[in-house]
Amino acid sequence: MPEFSYQVLAKCSQTKARVGTFSTPHGIVETPRFMPVGTLANVKTLTPMQLAATGAQMVLSNTYHLHLQPGESIVGGAGGLHSFMNWQKPILTDSGGFQVFSLSQMRKISEEGVIFRSPHGGEIINFTPEFSIQVQNILGADVIMAFDECPPYPATKEEIAAATNRTNRWLERCIVAHERPDQALFGIVQGGVHLDLRAAAAKSLAAYDLPGYAIGGVSVGEPPELIAKIVAATTPMLPEDKPRYLMGVGTYREMAQAIASGIDLFDCVIPTRLARHGAALVLGSRWNLKNAQFREDFTPLDATCPCYTCQNFTRAYLCHLVRSQEILAYTLLSIHNVTELISFTQKIRDSILKNRFTTDFQHWLTPQTEESLLGE
Rounded to whole angstroms, the Cα distance separating 309 from 326 reads: 15
Output the tens digit of pLDDT for each of the chain's 376 residues: 468 999 999 999 999 999 999 999 999 999 999 999 999 999 999 999 999 999 999 999 999 999 999 999 999 999 999 999 999 999 999 998 888 777 766 788 899 999 988 888 888 889 999 999 999 999 999 999 999 998 888 899 999 999 999 999 999 999 999 999 999 999 999 999 999 999 999 999 999 999 999 999 998 888 889 999 999 999 999 999 999 999 999 999 999 999 999 999 999 999 999 999 999 999 999 999 999 999 999 999 999 999 999 999 999 999 999 999 999 999 999 999 999 999 999 999 999 999 999 999 999 999 875 433 333 3
Amino acid at 118: S
Domain locations in the chain as residue ranges:
5-268, 281-360
Q: What angle is formed at CA 299 by the lines to CA 297 and CA 303, rounded to 5 degrees?
A: 150
Active-site entry in 142, 148, 267, 302 = 267
Q: How many helices (H) and strands (E) does the chain have?
A: 17, 16
**Cα(178)–Cα(288) distance, integer angstroms:** 45
Query: Is 241 annotated in the active site?
Result: no
Question: Yes or no: is domain 5-268 CATH 3.20.20.105?
Answer: yes
pLDDT score of 372: 39
Examine the residue annotation and report whether 94 is marked as an active-site residue of this protein.
yes
Residues 274 and 333 sit within 8 Å (Cβ to Cβ)? yes
Query: Which positions ≥6 away from 168 have C-beta within 8 Å?
Result: 201, 204, 205
Active-site pick, 94, 142, 148, 264: 94
